[in-house]
């Protein structure tokens, strides 16, 4: 629909053009909001899967509220059922606005398991990382001592408990040796999972 002004010029008032105008205005407001220094730094941090705690440590900030980013469709959760170690990443919408390439997902990733490891960076991750350095079978005490450079506070009890958890999750293998001592080693699933952490 066209409307004629007093000077004879025409402008379009069709529903389509009006709705398109509102979309453009909305995009501009969103882009302005994204370009605020705090927001753009935080969004770039979520270009790969991370927990809010990881981002807080990376940016050296006390706290931030994820809700505005989720509400605007800029960030999405990867493991919504997780209690601790919830992972978030940029949406494709955010990547387009930030001009970040959209990665091709070749294989499905177990974000529940990745989040579970992320929730315990000083214990589960440290022990899994130590085991992944080689495939030698070691006792829990040997593993604890080798992990001490990453976390000197690991106790004998906590090390055994974590190894039991990792075994139950299918990331670590175990067997009793001829010397009646229990040995542990990482399997391919465990090695692959360690590779998800940067």
Q: What is the pLDDT of residues 10-59, one digit of tens each?
A: 444 445 454 444 444 567 889 999 999 999 999 999 999 999 999 999 99
Please provide the average confidence, as pLDDT, over all residues in the chain.
Answer: 87
Q: Which residues have a Cβ under 8 Å from the Cβ of 84 and sit 6 or more positions away? A: 115, 119
Structure tokens belonging to residue 129: 């990382």
Give the Å distances, CA to CA, from 15 to 18, 21, 22, 23: 5, 10, 11, 12
12-98, what's its fold?
A: Arc Repressor Mutant, subunit A (1.10.10)
Structure tokens belonging to residue 188: 């391919």
pLDDT tens digits, one per residue of 68-78: 999 999 999 99
Average pLDDT over residues 74-91: 91
**The domain over range 120-194 is classified in CATH as 1.10.10.10:** yes
Q: Where are the domains of the chain?
A: 12-98, 120-194
User: What is the total residue count of the chain?
Assistant: 198
Kindly tell me if the per-residue pLDDT of 95 is higher than 80.
yes
Q: 12-98 and 120-194 share one CATH topology?
A: yes
Is the pLDDT higher at 108 or at 148? 148
Q: SS3 of 12, please?
A: strand
């Amino acid at each position: 629909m066209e409307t004629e002004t007093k000077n004879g010029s025409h402008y379009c008032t069709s529903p389509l053009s009006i709705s398109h105008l509102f979309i453009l205005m909305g995009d501009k407001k969103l882009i302005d909001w994204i370009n605020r220094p705090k927001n753009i730094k935080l969004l770039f941090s979520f270009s790969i899967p991370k927990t809010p705690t990881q981002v807080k440590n990376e940016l050296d900030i006390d706290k931030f509220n994820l809700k505005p980013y989720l509400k605007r469709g800029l960030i999405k959760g990867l493991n919504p059922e997780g209690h601790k170690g919830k992972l978030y990443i940029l949406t494709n919408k955010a990547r387009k606005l930030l001009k970040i390439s959209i990665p091709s997902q070749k294989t499905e990733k177990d974000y529940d398991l990745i989040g579970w490891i992320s929730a315990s960076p000083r214990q589960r991750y440290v022990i899994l990382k130590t085991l992944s350095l080689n495939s030698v079978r070691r006792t829990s005490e040997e593993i604890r001592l080798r992990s001490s450079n990453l976390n000197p506070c690991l106790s004998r009890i906590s090390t055994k408990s974590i190894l039991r958890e990792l075994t139950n999750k299918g990331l670590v293998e175990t067997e009793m040796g001829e010397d009646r001592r229990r040995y542990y080693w990482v399997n391919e699933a465990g090695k692959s999972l360690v590779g998800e952490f940067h």
